[in-house]
Structure 1
Amino acid sequence: MRVAVADVGTNSTHLLIAEAQGGHYRVLDALKVRTRLGECLDESGNMTPEGEERLRGALLRFRELADALEVPNVRVYATSALREAPNGPEIAERMRQETGVYPVIISGEREGRLTYLGAAHSVEFGDDNLLLDLGGGSLELIRGSAEEVQDVVSLPLGGIRMQDRFLHRDPPGKSEYRALVAYLQGALEPYRGRFGAGPDTQVVLSSGTAEDLALAVAARAGQAPSSVNGLRMTLDELGGLLGDLRRMSEEERARIPAFAKRARIIVAAAAVLHTALSVLGAREVVISEGALREGMVVEELQRHEDYVAGLTARHRGALALAERFRADLPHARQVTALSKELYDQLSGQGQALPEEGRGLLRAAATLHEVGQLVTQSSHHKHSAYLIRHGGLLGFGAREVELVAQIARYHRRSLPKEAHEDWTALNREDQTLVSQMAAILRVADGLDRSYGGHTRIETLERSGKGWCLTACVPNTLDRQGAQEKADLWAREFGPLSFVWLSEEECLDAAEMALELEGGRPA
């Protein structure tokens, strides 16, 4: 299995393409584009056309590289720059339409949790770890154990943000630098209790800025490490470097190899890290090369491994066929899980459903987009053809035909008398196809962004119809489900929706885990 993930930051946009390999992953390719979106904000905080064009160019390059390595989809998470821009959601939707890649805007907490996961697979984590991840727009503080995240906060203290707000002279003036440090101390002091470093706390830094600072500290000591991962740096060493950088002009800082590409903002960024470490009582740090995108890869591979472990033999065959036809496996897995949940809740509420439909629906959900191997246009029809003729093991001829037709109706036209394949079925099989396709359409709509974020809470009868309550942080997924509830209304009655916010979803998850005696990871 191959995955392509990317993160859109305030300064840079990164792509990572990896392949599962014996419980770990092997990096196949990586690409970094300095989009500098933080420079492209107007007075209202909106992303400018220049910023939109930079992002479009990066996503098109990512799509091209993923295609070359036969990865069907690039999963993109957007952080501070788009998260805080009022027009961020509009830009994300235009990117989907113009590039075929949708940058899912994630919260600072989600960003922190994924970064922690990436760092934990790069350096050895102990019982108590404090991770600081510095970006251009925000600073994430994450505390956790070797197994799970316990606390996260995202603060608007990114290096570019602090540079633009406080440091306007070159070299920085003493008064403006003191104002920056005072501001940082005030912003960080309220978090000393939650994130303070104890005697046994391992403090970890992740981000390109932290890596460059550690390399510069090593160079001052006459060292040239082959890898920055696991490199250690003391607070005093960072303070000494920062003191020198403050006295240099931007041109002088640019002559230092580690800072050639971030000379303008390195003083502000180093000040954020130095002040944060001082306030939190950290005296030494270890550098992790693993961060957000590595966490995205690890999460994706873990999800896939857990999913495969629960498959029956014949559904492993469906998954193998999906992989052979280069389907987007993360999307297929998410739609399959949502389809199963909808089926189970419908059945649990007393809706009469054919028992064999459960397994056929699962196979159709896994294979519903294999037709994209042929073309995006009418891919639902191509999916049906490939399922019929692809050699789907473990299913009889009738079952293969039913799987093909369920997949065929996951989008566009509903089953009708003008469709020869559907009318060729007997009445019971027509009902089965229509009901399973109705479920599949809604499940597919709930992952229209291909982000994998939707979680179904409840499905309950509501008058003559149904009400679905779900954690759907993404507007695009909400729209997708609403637009694809047409066949559901015909088969089961009208479907209404209650959308929970991301905060409500996290609260619900924490409550559920507390009842089970655990904590959210």
Structure 2
Amino acid sequence: MTNAPAPPLPVAVIDVGATAMRLALAEVAADGSVRPLEHLTRAVNLGKDVFTDGAITPATMESCVAVLRDYRRVLEQYDLSPGGRGLSGGGAGGAEAGGGRLRVVATSAVREATNRLTFLDRIFAATGIEIEPIDEAETTRVTYLGVLPYLQADPALHEATAAVAEVGGGTTDLLAIRGGDVRFSQSYRVGALRMREAVRAAAGASPRHLWERQADRAARRMAADLPEDASALVALGADVRFAANHLMPPQPGAGEEPEAGPDAAAQRLPLSCLREFLDDAFARTEDELARLYHLPFEQAETLRPALLVNLRLAEALGLEEMVVAEVHLRDGLIRDTAARGDWTDRAAAQAVQSAVHLGRRYRVDTDHARQVARLADRLFEQLAERHRLDARHGRLLSLAALLHEIGLFVGTTGYHKHSMYLIANSDLFGVSRRDLSVIGLVARYHRRASPKATHTPFTQMDRPERVAVAKLAAILRLAKALDESRSGRVKDVIARVDGDRLILTAPGVDDLSLERLAVKQSGPLFREIFGLRVLLRGG
């Protein structure tokens, strides 16, 4: 008898952006294929409020409440109404809802609002919907998940070093991807609505002149940051999609939002066409653009600055055309939410690769770091019943193991503290600031003092995260001790609990004198946290 395939999983995401709140509903099959069900968009003034005055006005709050109440009624039709608090952990937010999954995220406008907490509390009190503000690292990770199938479906783009850019209302997210691997990722405080509001506050020069100056400066910086072999630009975002759909031959289903994802046809937009379109657009007012192209006024406001940034970036890369992809942030969110926030193997590998590159920048002993990470992974896996941490914490332990010695670049004295500082102030692909703090603290406690109440970064965390840091640091200490000789001779470790003892066995290794001494020195933290004495034996 064969098992029947699992039924498609209903998934919903709401993207609370600077200019609009967007709801996407889809069914995700067991093989990962996505069938869109419904897509709704409602304009909001979040970005206009925040990028002008720094705070969300009461009127905008209430308009957001009204939109989310309407969206909740739609969700209820799919048995996807909010059913609980968002799951924590590195962007793994989501709520179980009627057997499906729901995730509600907010980007730069909410993240930067001075009254962010008031806004989030008001939304939750009025609608029962909990919004998760995501940072730039999470945005780029989710964008990667959404755009990867699209790139893989086009052999030329997949093999090239493709710059993937999305000019949003408040930020521009930029990735460089080749063969599915992320070679660069960065978020810039350059957004269409942010640019527009800055020009409104200026006097004298024409908006076009000021926008061109901003776009030129931003594009040159972005192009300089990208790998030198970047040979294609994949542009995302509603503004550039509108321009491509208007300028290129009509696509199937004209009049509706085109289907997103890898099956959507690539649109090659010549820069010459985009320049002509911009010349015409700058000859018109925003009201005229809205009437002429039947655009929401909020999109008419962002159209010109957004297209300018895309155009200038393509020019800075020496291109004659750009590829406009029917891919949205919501595509990545749907796939990520359907997977219950678990990273795909590909995305997790990008974070590891990013950590290895960071380690090399600080001249880390890469062989030792990788060996410690392998042993830490083995211990984490075998001690699951003792530490009771989730897969996210396992990933953070691996990254901490790869980076625990980067502080040696600064100096040998107190280098574990330098490691914490460097990690917390660096960027790793797809790793949030919150998780960078955890990784930094785990690296900080891989030697010397145990976590203490006088250590401010540690005490500022909530209790579950403090406990997780202590557990991970105790495991990392053992993993490092097992490669004390830096020879890699301990190929594997078998962990077994016997009463009040944790017995570690290193198969095939007879001389463990250095490792046994190191385990003895690192064991007190493990006993303090787990209540087990640690013994090391040869196999």
Are 1:142 and 1:149, in contact at CA under 8 Å, matched by a contact in 2?
yes
Given residue 11 of structure 2, which amino acid in structure 1 is its aligned partner? V
Measured after TM superposition, the shift of residue 304 of structure 1 is 7.6
CA distance in 1, matches of 2:136, 2:170: 11
* Equivalent residue for 2:166, pick from 133, 142, 145: 133
CA distance in 1, matches of 2:21, 2:313: 25
Deviations 1:416-465 (A, max 9, x none): xxxxxxxxxxxxxxxxxxxxxxxxxxxxxxxxxxx9x979866999xxx9
Deviation at 1:69, TM superposition (A): 0.4
Paired residue type of 1:267: R
Per-residue displacement from partner, 1:187-246 (whole Å, max 9, x unpaired)? 332332332674x7332111111111112222xxx6455448422201111111101111
Task: Give the direction of change, closer, same or farther, for the CA distance of 1:86–1:168 in structure 2 (3 Å limit).
Answer: closer
| Distance change >3 Å, CA 260–CA 499, structure 1 → 2 | farther
User: What do the CA deviations read for 1:332-381 (whole angstroms, capped 9, x no partner)?
Assistant: xxxxxxxx979936737xxxxxxxxx8xx99xxxxxxxxxxxxxxxxxxx
SS at match of 1:215: helix
Aligned to 2:383: 344
| 1:119 maps to which of 125, 147, 151 | 147
Q: Distance in 2 between matches of 1:263 and 1:188?
A: 22
Question: In structure 2, what is the equivalent of residue 183 of structure 1?
Answer: 214
Deviation at 1:54, TM superposition (A): 2.2
The whole-number CA distance in structure 2 between the counterparts of 1:276 and 1:68 is 43
Q: Partners in 1 of 2:177 and 2:21 — Cα distance?
A: 27
Pick from 279, 292, 297: which aligns with 1:243? 279
AA partner of residue 232 (structure 2): Q
1:83 paired residue number: 111
Aligned twin of 1:422: none
Of the candidates 5, 10, 32, which is equivalent to residue 23 of structure 1? 32
Trace 1:51-200 onto structure 2 (pairs within 5 A).
Answer: 51-71=60-80, 72=83, 73=95, 74-123=102-151, 124=154, 125-127=157-159, 128-166=161-199, 175-195=206-226, 198=229
Pairwise CA RMSD: 4.2
SS at match of 2:383: helix
Q: Is the 8 A contact 2:240 2:324 kept in 1?
A: yes
CA distance in 2 between counterparts of 1:216 and 1:197 reads 32
Q: Of 254, 261, 268, which aligns to 2:290?
A: 254
Equivalent pairs: percent with the same residue?
A: 23
Deviations 1:39-58 (A, max 9, x none): 23386401111222222222
Q: Which residue is 2:41 aligned to?
A: 32
| Per-residue deviation, 1:23 | 2.4
Report the counterpart of residue 322 of structure 1 in structure 2: none
1:36 partner amino acid: N
TM-score, normalising length from structure 2? 0.55
1:275 Cα offset (Å):
1.9
Matched, 1:284 2:312: no
Change (3 A) 1:168 1:249: farther
Q: Provide the TM-score with structure 1 as the length reference.
A: 0.57
1:14 lines up with 2:22 in the alignment: yes
Q: Give the equivalent residue in structure 1 for 2:238.
A: 208
Task: Tell me if structure 1 keeps the 8 A contact 2:162–2:231.
Answer: yes
1:80-479 equivalences in 2 (<5 Å) = 80-123=108-151, 124=154, 125-127=157-159, 128-166=161-199, 175-195=206-226, 198=229, 201-218=231-248, 223=250, 226=253, 227=258, 229=264, 230-257=266-293, 259-261=295-297, 262-302=299-339, 344=383, 347=386
Q: 1:281 offset after TM fit, Å?
A: 2.7
Residues 162 and 70 of structure 1: is their aligned pair in 2 closer, same or farther, counting only changes over 3 Å?
same
The letter of the residue matching 2:274 is L
| Aligned residue type for 1:19 | E
Bigger shift: 99-108 or 143-152? 143-152
Deviations 1:295-316 (A, max 9, x none): 0112233458999xxxxxxxxx
SS in 1 for 2:76: helix
Aligned AA for 1:190?
Answer: R
Per the TM alignment, residue 279 of structure 1 is displaced from its structure 2 partner at its CA by 2.2
5+ residue gaps, structure 2, are 1-8, 84-94, 96-101, 345-378, 391-431, 473-487, 489-539
Q: 1:467, 1:496 → 2: CA distance? A: 14
